[in-house]
Structure 1
Amino acid sequence: MHQEQQLNPWFSMWTKPRATIQQIIDNNPQHLVLLLAAVSGFAELLEQARVKSLGDRLEWPYIVVATAVLGPITGIISLYLGGALIRWVGSWLGGEASAQEIRAAIAWASVLTIWGLLLWLPELALFGQDLFTTATPKIDASLSLGFALLGFSLVEIILGLWALVVLLKCLGQVQGFSVWKALANLVLAFLVIMVPIMLLVFAFIALV
């Protein structure tokens, strides 16, 4: 009897996310989940440091070290809290996944984000502190560096969009959802958090 070829999730997640996450769920839904959450947490926090121009206050080597320490902690906490919220909200839509399966889907979908960490190596070598600062004198002084930054930015945008698609497909597979229903699951989970926060903010403003 012909045995179905095993997928390597580090590569197959790019093009076969549904089949890949199903293989992981069938074999061991806990496989590398915490490690993936830790590394992707580092990647996310590093990106946040760039977006928030943390380099205006810290040198970039300190930023990398700080995010390497704090990122794994926030990544694992986010996995458990976010996973629980997504499962709870998804149950309103008829979601079938267990908490463990939701965490596996989220963690393994982050494989693309983890691969994206490789882009930081040439970026840090080329741009250094300018990656994390509001002012970018090094990049502004060089047309070639400006084009290089644009190229990296385009790649990161495409990677981010495809990572979202992969997350939706993984979540959809474990929940028994289409991609669009998985998107609704994520949007509702976001609203469950944001609506109360916005109401509290508006109430505070009204009182003040």
Structure 2
Amino acid sequence: MRNPLLTIWRHPRETLQEILDTRWSSFVWLIPIVYLIGIYDMFSLSLRNNTGDTVTLPSLIILSFIFAIFWGPMSWGLDSLLYWGMGRILRGTGEWRESSVAAGWSKVPLIITLFTYWLPMILLYGRGFFQTETPPQSLLQGIFTLILYPLWIAIFVYYVYITSQILAEAHEFESGWKGFLVYILSKLVYIIALLFIFVLYELVS
């Protein structure tokens, strides 16, 4: 079989089917994917919360690596459940196995950004990348930022495309747009759940 890490970019639907039919669907491959996406999420959370204001860069990285051990599987499990449930609601045929494998392998583009965006930006800005006010940019930093940020956006857009196609294949939808609908509805459930928790916290406190 061809390497799915390469073919998923051009043929996401065919690649998912090949993954399901071979050893690539085993935990040997899913575990590192799940862990790396946990690191991606921890970096994203640190950036949004400006964690660098209170935590040193080495501590931030170490904590991200540690918490990824727990958050990665949790995030993967939630995504798998939502992709399976929403797909079934839309009359898809995918079972838990198809949904969970799709939830894991669809994140390959985001994992790539760990090396094409997150690592270079951390090397460029250090702790300042995760702070409220980023230190003044040098010319070199400005040039690299103008290159890296649009690249990250482009990969993220492609991630949404790949996820839509993979979910469509997992649930045997003819149209990738239906896979996109599964993705969007799943994310809406996330947002609604977070809003509910926030409102409940405000009421209690």
Scaled by the length of structure 2, the TM-score of the pair is 0.87
Q: Tell which structure's C-alpha radius of gyration is larger.
A: 1
* Residue equivalent to 1:11: 6
For residues 155 and 196 of structure 1, the distance between their equivalents in structure 2, rounded to whole angstroms, comes to 31
Amino acid at match of 2:147: G
> Are 1:85 and 2:90 counterparts?
no
Give the distance between the partners of 1:36 and 1:204, measured in 2 at CA: 33
- State the identity as a percent: 24
Q: Kindly state the Cα deviation for residue 142 of structure 1 after the two structures are TM-superposed.
A: 1.6
1:129 to 95, 112, 127: 127
Following TM superposition, by how much is the alpha carbon of 1:35 offset from its aligned partner in structure 2, in angstroms? 2.1
* Residue 99 of structure 1: aligned partner: 96
1:168 aligns with 2:168: no
Q: Where does the alignment leave 5 or more consecutive residues of structure 1 unmatched? A: 1-5
Cα distance change, pair 174–207 in 1 and its aligned pair in 2 (3 A): closer
* 1:34 matched residue in structure 2: 31
1:67 to 2:58 alignment? no
Q: CA deviation at 1:123?
A: 2.4
The 3-state SS of whatever aligns with 2:21 is helix
Counterpart amino acid of 2:145? L
- Root-mean-square deviation (CA, aligned residues, Å) is 2.4
Task: Give the whole-Å Cα distance in 2 for the aligned partners of 1:134 and 1:112.
Answer: 27
Deviations 1:56-103 (A, max 9, x none): 111111111111111132111111122112211211111111111111
In terms of mean alpha carbon deviation, does 147-156 or 112-121 score higher? 112-121
CA contact (8 A) 1:39 1:72 kept: no
Q: Tell me: CA distance 1:205–1:63, structure 2 relative to 1, closer, same or farther (3 Å).
A: closer
Q: Give the number of aligned pairs.
A: 201
